[in-house]
Structure 1
Amino acid sequence: MAWQGLAAEFLQVPAVTRAYTTACVLTTAAVFQVWRLLTNFLFFGPLGFSFFFNMLFVFRYCRMLEEGSFRGRKADFVFMFLFGGVLMILLGFLGSLFFLGQALTAMLVYVWSRRSPQVRVNFFGLLTFQAPFLPWALMGFSMLLGNSILVDLLGIAVGHIYYFLEDVFPNQPGGKRLLLTPGFLKLLLDAPEEDPNYLPLPEEQPGQQQQ
């Protein structure tokens, strides 16, 4: 019964968060072909405290983004993953970083934190601070677990690039939105937009006859 309740709760999680979290767990459990470009974002090392620590942050902040600033915009959310993933792969090659799941987690946390600057975060009951400090606290804790600081810095850097291009630059004088979600993603993932000029025919009242 407990598993049924957990499954029902999990099915209520937004689609992108559910899919990404599930893929991370399956890849880590199976440890298959982790060198491939796609699976390097899904592998978080062997099962252990570090893995569950990362899964906690992936699930929580991916879900908060999808239910918050990306609500009703699945295509834009997936495009953020694609943009961040491509940029991380290119920059990761320069630093010989081949497992980038933790970097993607840092990117998600960074984007959420910059879009929620007034939110106060309780970090494992030890520290309380404003959301923009969370990526740096996460990096410090990750370092204590023996993980490479470069991976977190890569995720923070890519998260900042996305945030600047999506939230900052378009609002500057002469700025414009440079990250445009491809139309095919919107067609696949988003509900079709209603025509604002569409006017429904007036409903016929009971007992009323048309002239």
Structure 2
Amino acid sequence: MPVGIEAWITQIPPITRGWLALSVLTSLAVQCQLVTPLQLYFSPRSAFMNAQPWRAFTTFFYFGSISLDFVFHLFFFMRYSRMLEESSFANKKADYFWLLLLSSAMLLALSPLFNLPFLSSSLAFVPIYLWSRRHPDTPISLFGLFTITAPYLPIALVAFSWVLSGTWRAAAGDLAGCLVGHVGWFLRDVWAREMAGGSSVLSESPAVL
């Protein structure tokens, strides 16, 4: 029987666990100077014109150097991604992967507009936003200081990230994630139900997944 940290890791759903592992390993690789952030960031010119396609993937796994901001983003993404994968996407792992894949594509398209070379925190806000919209009456205690309902969680986290980093640039990435999360929520919970009359390729994964 696994015990301690091994038991905790094995209890995390597979997609969230893989995302968490890749994010921690990427930051450790930078911390150990095996790679540099300049080899990981995304820009259309570097990724496609300079034949460095890995940048379209590594940009989603680098949360910055190991610091308080790194721990803050990693904790909240892991917590709410896990809760979403265990509730709304229980036994629907392919649908959750498809949600993150479509969200990643949208963020890559938005990256030049917002000047965001790293999209990890932006993608992390997608499951946070979707969970908050699907649990509108859930009370949440933030750091034991005050209590809010779930729909206000993304706004509170964006504000906290702004204060923590001391610059609006950090909040810009989180806001982009909220925007993409809102699109994902609308396509799955509003469009599919009220307009499309059922599921579509935008709300459910292709059979190949």
The TM-score range, normalised by the shorter chain, is 0.7 to 0.9
User: 1:34 — aligned with what?
Assistant: 40
User: 2:15 — aligned with what?
Assistant: 16
Q: Which has the larger radius of gyration?
A: 1
**Deviations, residues 132-160 of structure 1 (Å, cap 9, x unaligned):** 00000000000001252211110000000
Which deviates more from structure 2 when the two are superposed, residues 106-115 or residues 168-177? Answer: 168-177
Distance 2:185 2:192 in 1: 11
**Deviations, residues 96-155 of structure 1 (Å, cap 9, x unaligned):** 111011111111110000011111000111120100000000000000012522111100
Do residues 113 (structure 1) and 132 (structure 2) align? yes
Which deviates more from structure 2 when the two are superposed, residues 30-39 or residues 68-77? Answer: 30-39
Distance 2:161 2:195 in 1: 38
User: 1:59 — aligned with what?
Assistant: 78
Contact 1:165/1:177 (8 A) holds in 2: no
Superposed CA RMSD: 1.5
TM normalised by structure 1 equals 0.83
Contact 1:88/1:100 (8 A) holds in 2: yes
User: 1:86 — aligned with what?
Assistant: 105
1:169 pairs with 171, 188, 191, which one?
Answer: 191
**Deviations, residues 46-90 of structure 1 (Å, cap 9, x unaligned):** 101000111101110110011010000000000011000000010
Distance 1:23 1:62 in 2: 15
Distance 2:140 2:12 in 1: 22
How far is 1:177 from its partner? 3.1
Unaligned runs of 5+ in 2: 42-54
* Aligned residue pairs, count: 183
Distance 1:177 1:159 in 2: 18
1:102 pairs with 106, 121, 142, which one?
Answer: 121
Amino acid corresponding to residue 171 of structure 1 in structure 2? R
Contact 1:44/1:101 (8 A) holds in 2: yes
How far is 1:4 from its partner? 4.6
**Deviations, residues 151-202 of structure 1 (Å, cap 9, x unaligned):** 11100000000000011112215544331311111xxxxxxxxxxxxxxxxx
Cα distance, 1:87–1:173 mapped onto 2, change above 3 Å: closer
**Any idea what SS the aligned residue of 1:172 has?**
helix
**Deviations, residues 5-49 of structure 1 (Å, cap 9, x unaligned):** 111221121111111111110011112331211011110111010
**Any idea what SS the aligned residue of 2:117 has?**
coil
User: 1:49 — aligned with what?
Assistant: 68
Cα distance, 1:140–1:183 mapped onto 2, change above 3 Å: same
Amino acid corresponding to residue 177 of structure 1 in structure 2? S
Contact 1:170/1:177 (8 A) holds in 2: yes
Percentage identity across paired residues of the two chains: 39
User: 2:173 — aligned with what?
Assistant: 151
TM normalised by structure 2 equals 0.83
**Any idea what SS the aligned residue of 1:38 has?**
helix
Distance 1:140 1:96 in 2: 20
